[in-house]
């Protein structure tokens, strides 16, 4: 069976899963999303005033869309499944964005913990929650004045809408540059306390439906493996960093415990905990079974096999290193790669992950 046929079959099966998912109770009038680059639809690029260089956005959008991907993100496929338009970034005011059915506050590089001077994004989770509260206040002002009602959510959407979260990857993964495993494990309760505070603020603002993704297998990201995996004794199954995945699992376990606590604390909330880690790890461990040829190596990067990832030069950029001009270019066929740029997944991988989410097999609503 040719790789092209396998990929085509995988796309068909993913589409079937997306159709079947429509029979699941996954229908909301609006979505409010919080997170990092895994679900950023243009927040960071709008805030910092830059455009991602090609080949970012080469698939589907055919141009840079502010997404750190070659095409669509998991959140885009989930919006499709709910028959809702893609979410506009909160700070992207160009092109008359329509927020009638939701808004995206996620920004690449964001953490749950407050940002500091070294942070890529100034929009920590607490700031994103504050942005939402300001957004809601302004929307209610517009509605009271009977202005722009076609472009902003109806008042009842704030209670009936879905609040989605995919954040924590940068808190855990980024910490390994300055901390050891034990220090990171001891930091997890503090991270989740900050998350809990943000969730409570959203509840007080009317949020009732919470859709919470755990974090993926961080030790399998080429960026971390290339930077911290030169000592091969740190590598485990699938060539992934053991400590990173151990920390991710510890974070996820405590995150699930928090979701159970949240569901028990408020009788009027609906909490769904989604096991992204298991979906992504299975995709990497059984990549060929799912139609992918490269589970770890980045499609867009520099350095060639086995990782094609060099922290000195990011995807789409050209630099002079040691007197030589080098470029981090995209691969010929991103559809057979799981990793897009060593940190983020390809559109094809995102579509596969979304299709698995929508089966309901990895979601826990009985916390």
Q: What CATH number should be reported for the domain holding residue 281?
A: 3.40.50.1110
- Inform me whether the pLDDT recorded for 19 exceeds 60: no
pLDDT of residue 355: 96
Tokens of 2: 């040719």
Q: Three-state DSSP class for 327?
A: strand
Quote the Cα angle for 25-27-31, to 5°.
Answer: 130
pLDDT of residue 150: 86
Q: Is residue 257 part of a domain?
A: yes
The answer to whether position 329 is within a domain reads no
pLDDT digits (tens, 9 = 90+) for 268-303: 999 999 999 999 999 999 999 999 999 999 999 999
Token pair listed for 159: 């209670």
Do 3 and 73 contact (CB within 8 A), yes or no? Answer: no
Asked if the structure places residue 223 within a domain, the reply is: yes
Residue 364 covered by a domain: no
Active-site positions? 37, 341, 344
Whether 360 maps to a domain, the answer reads no
Question: Could you read off the pLDDT of 116-164 as tens digits, one per residue?
Answer: 998 999 999 999 999 999 999 999 999 998 878 888 999 999 999 999 9
pLDDT in tens, 154-164: 999 999 999 99
Residues sharing a CB contact under 8 Å with residue 340, sequence separation 6 or more, in sequence order: 68, 69, 70, 298, 299, 300, 315, 334, 346, 347, 349
User: How many Cβ atoms sit within 10 Å of the Cβ of residue 252?
Assistant: 22
Phi, psi of 325 (to 5 degrees): -80, 120
State the pLDDT at residue 95.
60
Domain of 66 in residue numbering reads as: 27-292
Task: Dump pLDDT digits (tens) for 100-118.
Answer: 999 999 999 999 999 999 8
Distance of CA 198 to the CA centre of its chain: 18
Q: How confident is the model at residue 364 (pLDDT cuts 50, 70, 90)?
A: confident
Note whether 267 and 205 are within 8 A (CB).
Answer: no
pTM of the model: 0.92
Looking at the domain assignment, is residue 202 inside a domain? Answer: yes
Task: Please work out, in degrees rounded to the nearest 5, the angle formed at the alpha carbon of residue 45 by the alpha carbons of 44 and 47.
Answer: 60
> How many structural domains does the chain have?
1
Mean of the pLDDT values across residues 190-202?
Answer: 98
Alpha carbon distances (Å) from 27 to 84, 274, 304: 9, 17, 43
44 in any annotated domain: yes
Residues 6+ positions from 247 with CB-CB distance below 8 Å: 172, 175, 176, 181, 184, 185, 188, 218
Split at pLDDT 50, 70, 90, the class of 346 is very high
d(CA 229, CA 240): 8
Residue 302 lies inside a defined structural domain of this protein: no
Whole-number Å distance between alpha carbons of 15 and 146: 40
- pLDDT at site 361: 94
pLDDT at res. 96: 60
For the chain, what is the mean pLDDT?
92
């Amino acid at each position: 069976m040719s790789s092209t046929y396998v990929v085509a079959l995988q796309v068909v099966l993913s589409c079937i899963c997306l159709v079947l998912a429509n029979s699941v109770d996954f229908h909301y009038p609006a979505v409010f999303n919080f997170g990092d680059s895994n679900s950023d639809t243009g927040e960071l690029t709008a805030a910092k005033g830059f455009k991602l260089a090609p080949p970012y956005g080469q698939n589907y959008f055919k141009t840079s869309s502010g997404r750190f991907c070659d095409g669509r993100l998991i959140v885009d496929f989930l919006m499709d499944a709910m028959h809702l338009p893609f979410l506009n970034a909160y700070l992207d005011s160009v092109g008359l964005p329509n927020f009638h059915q939701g808004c995206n506050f996620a920004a690449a590089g964001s953490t749950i913990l407050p940002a500091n001077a070294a942070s890529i994004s100034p929009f920590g989770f607490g700031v994103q929650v504050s942005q939402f509260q300001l957004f809601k206040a302004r929307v209610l002002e517009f509605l009271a004045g009977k202005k722009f009602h076609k472009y902003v959510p109806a008042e009842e959407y704030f209670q009936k809408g879905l609040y989605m979260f995919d954040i924590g990857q940068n808190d855990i993964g980024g910490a390994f540059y300055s901390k050891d495993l034990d220090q990171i494990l001891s930091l997890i309760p503090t991270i989740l306390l900050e998350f809990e505070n943000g969730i409570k603020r959203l509840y007080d603002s009317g949020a009732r439906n919470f859709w919470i993704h755990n974090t993926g297998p961080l030790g399998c990201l080429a960026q971390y493996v290339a930077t911290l995996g030169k000592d091969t004794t740190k590598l485990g199954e699938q060539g992934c960093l053991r400590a990173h995945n151990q920390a991710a699992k510890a974070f996820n376990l405590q995150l699930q415990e928090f979701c159970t606590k949240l569901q028990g604390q408020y009788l009027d909330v609906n909490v769904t905990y989604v096991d992204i880690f298991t979906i992504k790890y299975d995709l990497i461990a059984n990549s060929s079974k799912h139609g992918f040829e490269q589970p770890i190596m980045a499609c867009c990067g520099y350095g060639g096999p086995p990782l094609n990832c060099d922290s000195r030069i990011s995807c789409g950029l050209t630099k002079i290193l040691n007197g030589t001009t080098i470029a981090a270019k995209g691969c010929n066929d991103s559809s057979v790669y799981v990793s897009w740029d060593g940190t983020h997944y390809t559109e094809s991988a995102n579509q596969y992950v979304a299709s698995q989410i929508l089966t309901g097999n990895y979601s826990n609503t009985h916390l």
